[in-house]
Chain A
């Protein structure tokens, strides 16, 4: 693990920071998640320090100000991050487990199993994910487990495709044929020959899927079809505070910053993992 490039270190640091904040949210947040502590849209301490607060405000006890009904925005951001990251992580786990297990299985088994699974995945992928999610969410109760399942299932199609493609590439290698000729069973071939060689691209993809899940759940919540109030999540915070934008109140933009930094950090880590894979093949792979 030596020689980690600086960009990957930055990525790792911020990713870890966000996850720690999510885990220890109740300890870190200065106020309760749904606690009304002040007036509507009070300016933030940061605005005052930068001198861009509206006239008449000289001090504030809220780092990020208050939201549309006077709750502390920083606390809501921390709790919101917890919800967003939790849902994204769980959905990634669902999508990954299902997608990669089925993808490997299809590649190693081949024949009609592979054909029917792959054609079904093609079919599901011919409908845009967001549209399909909206269709399903129009009849299901919008709860956190339901969100995780819908997002995970829809996204597992993409993981399936990647896992299958990677496994098919490895599967035709002579060393896999050599193992077959030796008489090795399917589990040895999957776990000892294919998996160690497929791990890096899959781990990198996991990072990208996680980002996609963060964006996806935020979008759904923004549309009012994700996490339901009073629970906080980043997309929901935008929805609650969007009316302030027209009056020049930037509260709704705070989650943008959080989502973007989290996504960029994870991206940097994923990039590094992917580069490590290609350099094993001699630099040019």
Chain B
């Protein structure tokens, strides 16, 4: 075996943190990680937030973001330790030998310059190509990456192309100087699932055709399984497991890796509709004030007591707008909402206190769903006080019961939201909703901001609470794995319409309409060769094009 292209030995990275109420101090965020990468191979770096994966990726360009500093170890690329070379050599490396694709191409392109100018800049600056040759190469790359009108797209400005296209332009930018290594930092995470698959395919083919080596950083094991040769699993700045993709996916050794692989394997027995629906959405059409087009068109759906209706769709499908209509924040233009056997007043102001109490809501971002100046006790206690006039010891007792239900102890009662982890925050929000003794809770993307294992815990908790409290969930999500895990009924939404509606087994079984087929097919599955299969079997182009 020849010398590896990249050889990282005992890499240590530190950062300055600014905890509230304390002096800033330095901590270590990566504790001695080693790996190597052969020419033309792809190494996947996977882990949850805070695992240090992006930091390691940037360290391979001798770069630290913000207060991040490389504090020890060696990074050998093409036979020299880049942590020991001169500033001039590091500059020659960046954008020449090693290039970078970021998560948000929209922010990473300079809004004031044309795409072509930015794509060829590094190649020309490092003397790899003349301006003319670089432009020709860029056009070839644009075509290879499946961008429309590859000869002219470079003349546009970044805001003139879509997010999925811009992400591919960024890949072209990285490949243009013929680098030896490309660092892909969550390149598809910000995209809708049906767009992600196209970008993923384009990246995979580009890597194969150019023979470049890559570090592919992501939190999604299913995605990395499609593009990598080797995978390194990271947690809290330490290596957990490192092996080839087949071994990691099919025969993980460490418990943490096993948990990551088996995540979203929650199975939930579908319940048949029973009794009268707790919520009926009837012919709802809605638009926002001051706009001229409807964002919801004639939406119908029912939710039964103690069951879950999943509303699934991509960004812009109208699923969150539906939640605003149900809660009364956006009165519908046509149609009505029937709740617990009565027709709800269309706007919030004229609903009764019982209407409000029985219909609760949990938000995506638990951070901003809780007042940072209130303690957990106040946050959970306020609904008790407001709806049930509970006070003093009685209230405290009930708060502790609720904390118990969400698997947090009594000691949390005096903490502030800033002192909680992401999962704990979401649990407190669940307790706040439960405190009102609701008949139904709207869950708006409640797990999508969380790491997979934490999200899993929240889903299990929600299912458990449903059994105990017999509460119905209207579960809004873009994530089909979550839908499978939790729903009894499903409404698939697309461009403001319910595209497909029925019980979980009906909706998820063929024959499919074209959109549902595309959506279901686009969810990465944790097995090798999935990407190729899907691309071969597709019927409909994704919305991203």
Contact = CB atoms under 8 A, between A and B. Distances in A.
Contact between chain A and chain B defined by CB under 8 Å = yes
Contact of B372 (A180, A183, A197, A284): A197
B21 interface: yes
A282 B368 contact: no
B368 A182 contact: no
A70 B363 CA distance: 72
Contact of A182 (B23, B363, B382): B382
Given A175-B368, A175-B369, A196-B371, A283 B356 contact: no
Given A177-B329, A184-B386, A280 B372 contact: yes
A138 interface: no
Contacts of A180: 329, 348
B351 to A, nearest CB: 8
Contacts of B23: 3
B371 A197 contact: yes
B19 A283 contact: yes
A7 to B, nearest CB: 15
A245 B336 CA distance: 80
B18 interface: yes
Task: Tell which of A175, A181, A197 has the most Cβ of chain B within 10 Å.
Answer: A175
Given A280-B372, A280-B418, A284-B18, A178 B353 contact: no
Given A175-B371, A183-B356, A279 B365 contact: no
A284 B371 CA distance: 19
A181 B327 contact: yes
A173 B18 contact: no
B448 to A, nearest CB: 14
A104 B382 CA distance: 23
B20 interface: yes
A55 interface: no
Contacts of B510: none
A199 to B, nearest CB: 9
A192 B372 CA distance: 11
Nearest to B352: A183
A2 B17 CA distance: 19
A183 B353 contact: yes
Given A182-B356, A197-B373, A173 B368 contact: yes
Interface in A180-202: 180-184, 192-193, 196-197
A175 B382 CA distance: 12
B contacts with A: majority SS: loop
Given A175-B369, A282-B20, A181 B418 contact: no
A180 B329 CA distance: 9
Contacts of B361: 178, 181
Contacts of B348: 180-181
Nearest to B417: A175
Interface residues of B, number: 33
A206 B114 CA distance: 45
B392 interface: no
A193 B369 CA distance: 11
Contact of B386 (A173, A183, A280, A282): A183
A279 B372 contact: no
Contacts, number: 60
B24 interface: yes
B166 interface: no
Contacts of B19: 283
Given A174-B365, A178-B363, A184-B386, A193 B371 contact: yes
Interface string A240-280: 00000000000000000000000000000000000000011
Nearest to B23: A3
Given A174-B369, A175-B371, A197-B373, A279 B363 contact: no
Interface string B353-395: 1001100110101001111111000000011001000000000
B392 to A, nearest CB: 19
A174 B363 CA distance: 7
A142 B375 CA distance: 51
B18 A3 contact: no
A282 B369 CA distance: 17
Nearest to B370: A175
B20 A279 contact: yes
Contacts of B329: 177, 180-181
B18 A279 contact: yes
Contacts of B368: 173-175
A223 B64 CA distance: 55
A184 B383 CA distance: 10
Interface string B1-33: 000000000000000011111111000000000
Contacts of B18: 279, 282-284
A52 B369 CA distance: 66
Interface string A150-184: 00000000000000000000000111011011111
A241 B370 CA distance: 58
A259 to B, nearest CB: 34
A284 B17 CA distance: 10
Contacts of A183: 351, 353, 356-357, 386
A181 B327 CA distance: 7
A177 B432 CA distance: 14
Contacts of B357: 183
Nearest to A284: B18
A175 B367 CA distance: 9
B45 to A, nearest CB: 25
Contacts of A193: 371
Given A178-B369, A196-B373, A279 B21 contact: yes
A280 B416 CA distance: 11
Interface in A200-257: none
A177 B17 CA distance: 32
A283 B21 CA distance: 9
B20 A280 contact: yes
A184 B382 CA distance: 10
Contacts of B432: 178
A182 B436 CA distance: 9
B440 to A, nearest CB: 13
B32 to A, nearest CB: 26
Contacts of B369: 174-175, 178
A284 B15 CA distance: 14
Contact of A181 (B20, B24, B356, B365): B356
Interface string B317-328: 000000000011
Given A174-B368, A197-B371, A182 B21 contact: no
Contacts of A178: 361, 363, 369, 432
Contacts of B327: 181
A182 B246 CA distance: 51
B230 to A, nearest CB: 34
Given A182-B383, A182-B436, A279-B18, 7 more contacts: A173-B368, A175-B368, A180-B348, A182-B382, A182-B386, A183-B356, A196-B373
18 contacts: A3-B23, A175-B370, A178-B361, A178-B432, A180-B348, A181-B329, A182-B356, A182-B386, A182-B436, A183-B386, A192-B371, A197-B371, A279-B18, A280-B20, A280-B372, A282-B18, A283-B19, A284-B18
Interface of B: 17-24, 327-329, 348, 351, 353, 356-357, 360-361, 363, 365, 368-374, 382-383, 386, 418, 432, 436
**Which 10 pairs from chain A and chain B are nearest by CB?**
A283-B18, A196-B373, A174-B369, A183-B356, A175-B371, A174-B363, A174-B368, A173-B368, A279-B20, A280-B20
